Amino acid sequence: MSYTLPEFLAHAIAMEEEAAERYLELADMMEAHRNDDVSAVFRDMHRYSIMHRDAIRARVGDTELPKLKSWQYRWRTPPEMGDEDAFDYLLDAYNALQYARTNELRAMEYYRSVVGETDDAEVRRLADEFADEEREHVEALDKWIGRTQRPSATWQKDPGPVS
């Protein structure tokens, strides 16, 4: 599918806004569980998402943007998680980072696919730039995933009392 510039910009804004909301939630969750390091990572990501959204909005100016369907930009919980388990799952820093990584990767793949499919030179230029940004986000999260302890199998079955 080839996007027009307004379609592409609407999509990019919605994705940044979604990322900003999810990162804020994740940051609060990590803070509640006294994981200040990972909370700080998510707060940084929240800030970048807001900055990026605002930069795109400034570029849009008065152009009218089309409305999107939520499945086009909402973050997805990892496929192995049922919806009712997703919240518990995300309380663990490792899983929360993986969740964010999955969605950053999805954003990167989206922008890459636009680069490959669009006939509009400006859309291609922006999509290429945004894809690189998302790749940096994936890499930043990978670093943290590498430093974060994987939850044990027992933990996954029984999270135990929340202190």
Name the site residues for Zn ion (rule: CB under 5 A): 104, 134, 137
Q: What distances in angstroms separate CA 3 from CA 19, 61, 64, 65, 91, one per listed residue?
A: 21, 18, 15, 12, 37
Query: Which residue has the CB atom at the shortest distance from Zn ion?
Result: 137
- What minimum distance in Å lies between the beta carbon of 136 and Zn ion? 8
- What minimum distance in Å lies between the beta carbon of 147 and Zn ion? 19
If the CB atoms of residues 92 and 137 are measured against Zn ion, the closer one turns out to be 137
- What minimum distance in Å lies between the beta carbon of 23 and Zn ion? 9
Specify whether the CB–CB gap between 22 and 30 falls below 8 A.
no
Report which DSSP code applies to 71. G
Residue 106: helix, strand or coil by DSSP? helix
Specify whether the CB–CB gap between 75 and 18 falls below 8 A.
yes
- What minimum distance in Å lies between the beta carbon of 156 and Zn ion? 27
Which amino acid is located at 93 in the chain? A
How far apart are alpha carbons 84 and 89 in whole angstroms? 10
If the CB atoms of residues 92 and 104 are measured against Zn ion, the closer one turns out to be 104
Structure tokens at 47: 């800030």
If the CB atoms of residues 93 and 100 are measured against Zn ion, the closer one turns out to be 100
If the CB atoms of residues 2 and 72 are measured against Zn ion, the closer one turns out to be 72
